[in-house]
Amino acid sequence: MKLIVRPMLLMTVFFSLAFMTSAFADEQPEPDFAADAMKSPGNPPTIPHAVKPDQDGEACNTCHRTGLKNAPPTSHPERLNCTSCHVQGEVKKEKKTAPKGKKK
């Protein structure tokens, strides 16, 4: 009798565990890739400035290949799908709106 009960118990435990994990597998929160990218060390730096939705590749390289307009030069201008690795980060400084000082 004992010989049968043991494996039966183990099977029950195994299947209930398998069922429980599959039941909870769907309850993942929505992924937030931008937030993840900022938390992960050693990953592609996030883009600290505004980019147009269709801006990628050579459009980024105009500044980042040589370091135009104080852009940090990229070590990899040949990887043209920039935004597949670099996601939009927090935009640090707003564009200057109106020059201060002189009143009209």
Q: Which is nearer to ligand HEC, 12 or 84 (CB)?
A: 84
Taking CA atoms, 29 is separated from 25, 32, 85, in Å, by 11, 9, 22
Minimum distance from CB of 97 to ligand HEC (Å)?
17
Minimum distance from CB of 26 to ligand HEC (Å)?
30
Q: Quote the CA–CA distance of 53 and 85 in Å, as a whole number.
A: 15
- Categorise residue 101: left if φ over 0, alpha if ψ from -120 to 50, beta otherwise: left
* Burial of 38: CB neighbours in 10 Å, binned 0-12, 13-18, 19+: middle
Tell me the per-residue interface mask from 45 to 84 with ligand HEC, x by CB under 6 A, - otherwise: x-xxx-x---xxx-xxxxxx----xxxx-xxxx-xxxxxx
Site for ligand HEC in 17-46 (CB under 6 A): 44-45
Chain positions contacting ligand HEC, by CB under 6 A: 44-45, 47-49, 51, 55-57, 59-64, 69-72, 74-77, 79-86, 92
